[in-house]
Amino acid sequence: MSNLLVAVLSPPDYAKDLGKKGATIDITFYNLKKGDATVTFIEPTRYPEKLSSLFYAVSAGGFVINMGILYLLTSVGGVYYLLSNIIGILVGFGWNFMVNRRMTCTRN
């Protein structure tokens, strides 16, 4: 018996014609059985709207951190602006990675 799991990233309810509707939570499962082979299609239902707004908020925070470090190091600290920008980018990237990993990639 072989199983295949397919993520469907398309307009809402696109996968309803692909298989029999199964469980629905934040994602909807559609099952298709051909002989002893099973294909399960997974379609996001509600979660992407919440995820994208959270992702954008975290990214905006990273941008503010980047610009703040650039300003502080260049204007207040007298550091060369390219070096300040590199440091700001690295800190902003670290912020985005850690916060997105913690907030958007955790299981409830």
Domain locations along the chain? 3-44, 48-103
Please give the pLDDT value at position 102.
78
List of the chain residues with pLDDT < 70: 1, 46-53, 104-108
Please give the pLDDT value at position 7.
78
Please give the pLDDT value at position 106.
56
Q: pTM for this structure?
A: 0.53
What is the phi/psi pair of residue 7, to 5°? -90, 130
Please give the pLDDT value at position 35.
86
Please give the pLDDT value at position 105.
62
Q: Which amino acid is at 40?
A: T
